[in-house]
Structure 1
């Protein structure tokens, strides 16, 4: 059998229609026609009606081919923008959303971007998905070991309104031989992160103070989970002159933004990745990529742009 794929002809589609009406399976039809089983199965799945119709299927396939030709004839500027965005780890949805902001007259949807990606052979550049990030489970023991723990119920309601910049969520991401301390600002979704050798409360507290020192005047509160590494929250609050709160055990969704951001980090550093081998520049580069990544929840602005739009002069500190 010839392994080189060829488009199905109208004559072949009539053969498929006839054999399908006789009750033959896709595999049997493929054998009789000396075609790939996947080709026949895909053709039957694409059927727009309950009964396969060769004429309708051929017309549908012709339309798809015409659309594909249009995509390959798109302006080089658009193709270059897609390629550049892929290199920044944007998803097709983010690329389409961002282009809609930058060039409103350009009608580009997510499917259009995918078509360009596949036509140019860039599929391997799509952001790695991997396994869905699963936040670690809190433990009641952790909550009991945190001195003067203030429950999230006592956090001011305006924190949930996401109107005031300066309310952060904190967590740690573990790797093969190290940890990342992560802080995410609730309004702008700005990420701050650095590496620690282990997650003792002393090292984690020191890292948080260092990360937030340039943002001290816009650090009003930090919400943590109940990990023992955050037992030094009082020294953090004193140094930064902010309030600290803790989510309820087994309620990771109460810090949903930080958990989502950790999921973005996991795309760069999957579970088991040797975080301890990362340099400060490696981590800074990843932080930059995430902070310059358009977000659907921000109407496809980036965290940096939202920060600037809020007229907070902190860009030099990042």
Structure 2
């Protein structure tokens, strides 16, 4: 059949795909490399079905001619174009034969002809399939065509990963699988646009996204609170410079997540690894109790992983000096109405609210449940960590320290 790179071979291969043969079957029949056929299909705009059956994805729901800015070309029109070009007729002559403007024929050939180096070959069947696929509605979607990828996406969403985290995690989990790649926008489309959110029916979690917010909340313009005595010498401006750029581990951000019945949990997030620690308050939120719980949470940490804690200006940390005496960990306080100064903790508290919505009485949450929540937060891939998990990053640190 001549050179494997010739357009005649390429046109035959594409025709076999349109007949329903799989890419490996076409390659075997024509005696060409297994990677050539998918590449030719991609260049020709012919989408291949995944799985053992293979073949081209059918162009659905379209007839030939239509009404629009001009008459759409039919399969018969394209066959006339192919014959006319093979006989050396001009674009104008071909256009007269099918009753369209010469520019219509020129655009059709420019858009759909197969090209290799200086060769140009127009194949009516391939061109018609490509045109139908481009106009088909609804479009064939990547997650519909790739069951393995769809399953991996569903698993990530069920683990409460965001679409962006699911997409970013794929190269980490499947570093050699180019077919296991998906954009976060594709996942959003599958959740909320395609088929009225068909992907959501496969999830075991109640909601796929933890927030419906479409933009950032504006920074507060409220005036600063009055000074509090426990802040003296412990403001964020007094915090060591090494804590600001996250280059040195052991600097934490903390806060309370509260509920009715004077219930609550203490949350700590390590600034470099984003590793999370959770501790339950025993039915009271006074400063002595909070500092005691904090001391217990960090007592098992290596010295190099327990340097500072950054907190807001809440009165629950009024006795932070007790914590420093017991553990050697210094506490520093953000500026008023500046939650972005401990943004990792703010983000984590939002994630926690996905597990425990507002109104949750933490006195009814078991220690087993809280431990499992902490585990899920620490195996959650983070974009800022290159879609590795906090647990993985902490393990790397501990290996270095030991």
TM-score (normalizing by structure 2)? 0.58
Larger radius of gyration: 2
Q: Which moved more, 1:168-177 or 1:110-119?
A: 110-119
- CA distance in structure 1 between the aligned counterparts of 2:373 and 2:285, rounded to whole angstroms: 21
- CA gap of 1:185–1:168, structure 2 versus 1, over 3 A, is same
1:277 to 2:342 alignment: no
Alpha-carbon distance, 1:284 to partner:
1.2
Number of equivalenced pairs: 266
- Alignment correspondent of 1:203: 289
SS in 2 for 1:311: helix
- Alignment correspondent of 2:202: 122
- Alignment correspondent of 1:179: 264
Alignment of structure 1 residues 213-292 onto 2, 5 Å: 213-217=299-303, 218-292=305-379
SS in 2 for 1:238: helix
1:104-130 deviation per Cα after TM superposition (whole angstroms, max 9, x unaligned)? 342322234346665543365513325
- Alignment correspondent of 1:85: 156
Alignment of structure 1 residues 29-108 onto 2, 5 Å: 60-62=134-136, 64-65=138-139, 67-68=140-141, 70-76=142-148, 78-104=149-175, 105-106=177-178, 107-108=181-182
TM-score (normalizing by structure 1)? 0.72
CA contact (8 A) 2:234 2:331 kept: yes
Alpha-carbon distance, 1:168 to partner:
0.8
CA contact (8 A) 1:138 1:225 kept: no
- Alignment correspondent of 2:246: 162
Alignment of structure 1 residues 147-158 onto 2, 5 Å: 148-158=232-242
Q: Which moved more, 1:127-136 or 1:102-111?
A: 127-136
Gaps of 5+ in 1: 1-6, 18-56
Match of 1:109 among 183, 186, 205: 183
CA contact (8 A) 1:176 1:273 kept: yes
Gaps of 5+ in 2: 1-59, 71-130, 192-196
Q: Which moved more, 1:296-305 or 1:234-243?
A: 234-243
- CA gap of 1:61–1:195, structure 2 versus 1, over 3 A, is farther
Higher RCO (C-alpha under 8 Å, 6+ residues apart)? 1
- CA distance in structure 2 between the aligned counterparts of 1:82 and 1:88, rounded to whole angstroms: 10
- CA distance in structure 1 between the aligned counterparts of 2:309 and 2:165, rounded to whole angstroms: 29
- CA distance in structure 2 between the aligned counterparts of 1:14 and 1:279, rounded to whole angstroms: 65
Alpha-carbon distance, 1:181 to partner:
0.8
SS in 2 for 1:264: helix
C-alpha RMSD of matched pairs (Å):
3.5
Alpha-carbon distance, 1:156 to partner:
1.4
- CA gap of 1:251–1:92, structure 2 versus 1, over 3 A, is closer
- CA gap of 1:312–1:211, structure 2 versus 1, over 3 A, is farther
